[in-house]
Amino acid sequence: METDEKFIELRVAYPGSLVNVLGIALPNGTLSRAMSREPRQYKRVPGVGEQTVYSLPDMDMTYEVEEFIDGKLTRWYAATLEGDPTIYRISQYGAKVYARREMPLRDVVRDHPEIPPLTDCKDEDD
């Protein structure tokens, strides 16, 4: 059985990772979440280790991703745009803006990218 459905591949660390689909914001301002039911598989990647590979639908959607990297739980937010195979990392604020439907997702991706923590930045003197 052939299908014309297109998917966007999201790879996260295995084990212990979780991908939640974000929905419309709740009245109190928090994000509504639903565990992703997207098809997934597990792969061993040389030099990286094991990964969970999610097949996300090719549509405008936002996700909350929790994964263990170097023994530390990391949370980040992702967006997918219909017709674009890229996984965009967006800020938590951007995810909330989209959940409240204050801005189209393409504008959120452009205006609210993920900002790396200051600990990831090094001074030029180092």
Rounded CA separation 50/33 (Å):
25
Span 107-120, mean pLDDT?
Answer: 84
Q: CA 80, 82, 30 angle in degrees (round to 5)? A: 40
Q: What is the pLDDT of residues 34-90, one digit of tens each?
A: 876 666 777 887 877 888 888 899 999 999 999 988 889 999 999 999 999 999 999
The pTM for the full model equals 0.81
Residue pLDDT, tens place only, 58-72: 999 999 999 988 889
More confident residue, 40 or 31: 31
Phi, psi of 88 (to 5 degrees): -95, 130
Mean pLDDT for the chain? 85
DSSP 14: S
* pLDDT(12) > 60: yes
